Amino acid sequence: MSAVMTTPVGRLRALGRAELALLGRNRSAVVTALLVPLALPFSVRPAVDQMDLKGEGLSVGSVMLTAAIGFSLLFAVYSSLVSAFVARREELVLKRLRTGELGDAEILAGTGLPAVCVGFVQSVLLAVACVLLLDAGAPAMPQLVVLGLLFGLFLSAALAALTASVTKTAESAQVTALPVLFASMLGSGIIIPLQLLPDRVAAVCEFLPLSPAIRLISGGWNGDLSGYDALGAVLTALAWTVLGVFAVRRWFRWEPRR
Amino acid sequence: MDTNEHEHVIEVTDLRRVYGGGFEAVRGITFSVRRGEVFALLGTNGAGKTSTVELLEGLAPASGGRVRVLGHDPYSERAAVRPRTGVMLQEGGFPSELTVAETARMWAGCTSGARPEAEALALVGLARRADVRVKQLSGGERRRLDLALALLGSPEVLFLDEPTTGLDAEGRRDTWELVRALRDGGTTVLLTTHYLEEAEGLADRLAILSEGRIAVTGTPAEVTAGRPSRISFELPSGYFVGDLPPLGPLGVVGHEVAGRVVRLETRELQRAATGLLVWAEGAGIELRRLEVRSASLEEAFLGIAREQQGVTV
C-alpha cells in the first residue's frame, strides 16, 4: 500500500479536536466544567474558616487550593466525562469508532482528552490564584503535587468510564455520578482535610480512589508529608491505577443495552 | 498488495455467535467472498445478518468457527485489517452536534490514506451539506454520510449493513451505481439488505440466512433456478377449479385456492400460461387480476420463510 498510515498521535489529535468542539457546544457541560470548580471553593470558604487548621499545621490557602483542585477533578473531569462517555455510547459513536483504526485505549483517551486538559489547565490556574490571593505559598515539594495531579486526572477519567458503564442515559448520569462525587468530596480530603477526621475514619478514607492523589497534592504543597507517607500514597494511587485499567478493560460498555 | 483475482478476501468457516443470554444468533455458517465480488447477505429480521457482519468487521470475537478478512482475524488482528476495510453500520454513530465537515475531518484523521474529505462527501452528493450539523440531516443523508466515511480510505473491502434503508428511490439508485463503480474498481463488497431487488441487481453472489444458518447460497440465478414460477388469477363466479383444464399436463406442480383467487406453481411458465389462456379464450371467460411471474429472488425468499415456519404450499 502506498497510502500514508495514521499514527496514534495523529488519531488522538483528530478525535480530541472533535471532542473539544463537542464539549464547547454542550452548555451544561461547559458550566459544570468551568464554573463549578471556580465557584465551589469559595462557597466552602466559611466552613474552612471554622476549621481548626493551625493544630494540624494547615493554612487556609493550602486547604482552599486542595479543595479547588479536587473540585476541578470531580466536575471538569469526572462529571463531564461520565456524560460524554454515555452520550457517545448511546449515539453509537463508540461502536462506529471501533470499526476504524483507533484502538480501544485510543478511543477512550481521545474522548477524555479535552476534559482532562481542561482539568489540568484549570488546576494550574486555581493554584496560581490561591497563591496570589490566599497566600497559599509556594509548593514545598512540587514534584509530589504534579504527580498527585496526574494520578488525579487519570483516576477521575477512569472512574468516569466505569460510572458511564452503569449509566443508561445522559440524563441519569447526574444521579449515577453522585456516589463518587460525595464520597470523594467528603472522604478524599477535598472539602474536609483528612487530618481533621477521626483517626479511624481517616484510615479508611485514605483508601478511597482519589484520596492518595489529593494527599500528594496537599502534602506536597504544605511539605507535611513524610517520605514514608508519600510512598504509601503513591503506591495506593498506583494500585488504583492498575485496578482502574483492569476494570475499564473488563467492564466498559461500548454499545447501548438492547 | 496481492492482486490475485481468485484470492478469497473473506473466509468464514462454521462461524458461530452466542450472546450473553445464551441466544445463538449465528449457528455455524460457511461462505467465502472473492476479491472484487459483491456478496449480499439476505434474511428476515433476526436471521443473523448483522450478528454475522459484526463478526466480519471485528467488533466482537466469534463464539466458534473462524473468520478471516484479508488473511487476518479481524478481531484479534485488528490493526492489520482496519486500514484496509471500510465499514458502514446499520445505524448512525456520529455525534449529532458536529457538522458534516467536522465529522469527515475527524474520521479522515483516523484513516490511513484518506482521500480529501470534500471528495468523499461529493461522491455521495453531500458536498453542499458540509456545514450542517449531523442532527439536522435527514435519515437518508445520514446514510450517505456514513457511506462517505466508509469510503474515505479507499478500502479494499467494504462492509455495508443495510446501506439503502431510509433512502428514497433516487438515493437508492445512486448508491447502487456507486457500489457497482467500486466493484468495477476492484473493491470487494459485503452488504446486507432486505430489499430483494437490491440483492438481485447488485450481488454477484448471495446467501439467504434463516435462523442463523445459510438456507441457500449462490448467484442470484442459481438461487432462483430451483424455484417455481407463479400464475394467479380470479375465477369468474360460476366457475370452479375443477373446470380448469387438467393441470398436470400443463406443467403445473402445485395449486392453491383462496376464495375465487387461484394460484398455480409451475416450472414451465410459458406452457402453463399458454394452456390456461387458450382454455379461457375457448370458454369465453375473462381471468381478472391475472398475474404471471417468473421465479424471482422474492419467491426464493418467501419459500424459505415459509419452510422456516413449517408451512408447505
Interchain CB distance below 8 Å, A15 and B98: no
Would strands B261-266 and B252-258 be described as parallel, antiparallel, or unpaired? antiparallel
Record the pTM.
0.88
From chain A, pick out residues whose CB is under 8 angstroms from the CB of B110: 6, 10-11, 14-15, 97, 100-102
Q: Which amino acid is at B100?
A: V
Q: Residue A250 and residue A111: Cα distance in Å, rounded?
A: 18
Q: What is the pLDDT of residue B6?
A: 59
DSSP per residue over B100-136, as a string? HHHHHHHHHHTSTTPPPHHHHHHHTT-GGGTTSBGGG
Q: Do B82 and A101 touch (CB under 8 A)?
A: yes
Nearest to B275 by CA among B266, B258, B296, B240: B266
- Cα distance from B79 to chain A (closest Cα, Å)? 7
Over residues A218-233, mean pLDDT: 91
3-state helix, strand, coil in chain B (%, to 5): 35, 30, 35
CB contact under 8 A, B91 and A2: no
Task: Check pLDDT > 80 for residue A205.
Answer: yes
- Helices A227-251, A142-165: axis angle to 10 degrees equals 20
B62/chain A closest Cα distance in angstroms = 16
| Spatial distance between the Cα atoms of B84 and B81, rounded to a whole number of angstroms | 6
Which pLDDT does position B2 carry in this prediction? Answer: 47
Could you give the CA distance from residue B172 to residue B170 in angstroms, rounded to a whole number? 5
Note the pLDDT of residue B313. 42
Comparing CA positions, the residue from B240, B239, B206, B199 lying closest to residue B223 is: B206
d(CA B137, CA B148): 14
Domains and CATH numbers, chain B: 8-224 (3.40.50.300), 228-294 (3.30.70.980)
pLDDT at A1: 43
Can you spell out the DSSP letters for A131-196? HHHH-----SSHHHHHHHHHHHHHHHHHHHHHHHHT--STTTHHHHTHHHHHHHHHHSSSSS-GGG
**SS3 (DSSP) at B7:** coil
Maximum mean pLDDT: which of A20-29, A188-197, B147-156, B219-228: B147-156
Beta pairing class for B38-43 and B205-210: parallel
For testing contact with chain B, the best of A17, A94, A101 (most B CBs within 10 A): A101
The pLDDT value recorded for residue B310 is: 63
The predicted pLDDT at position A46 comes to: 78
Confidence of residue A59 (pLDDT cuts 50, 70, 90): confident
- Residue B49 to residues A30, A86, B146, B161, B186, Cα–Cα distance (Å): 41, 27, 19, 8, 24
Q: For residue range A245-256, what is the model confidence (pLDDT) as tens digits? A: 999 999 999 999
Question: Between A and B, how many CB-CB pairs are < 8 A?
Answer: 97
Considering only CA atoms, give the Rg of chain A. 19
Mean pLDDT estimate for chain A: 90
To the nearest whole angstrom, how far is the Cα of B149 from the nearest Cα of chain A? 10
Pairwise CB contact (< 8 Å): A98 & B59 = yes
pLDDT band at A2 (very low <50, low <70, confident <90, very high): very low
Is residue A194 very low, low, confident or very high in pLDDT (cuts 50, 70, 90)? confident
Please check whether residue B136 touches A, CB under 8 A: no
Any chain A CB within 8 A of the CB of B311?
A: no
Using alpha carbons only, what angle is made at residue A103 by residues A92 and B64, rounded to the nearest 5 degrees? 80
Select from B122, B127, B172, B174 the least CA-distant residue to B151.
B122
What CA–CA distance (Å, rounded) separates B27 from B113?
37
| β strands within A39-118, DSSP E | none
Q: Among A2-11, A42-51, A94-103, which range has the highest average pLDDT? A: A94-103
By residue count, chain A amounts to 258
Report the pLDDT averaged over residues A74-98. Answer: 95
* Nearest by CB: B93 against A2, A22, A95: A95
Residues of chain B short of pLDDT 70, as ranges, are: 1-6, 310-313
Q: Check residue B217 and give left, alpha or beta (phi > 0: left; psi -120 to 50: alpha).
A: beta
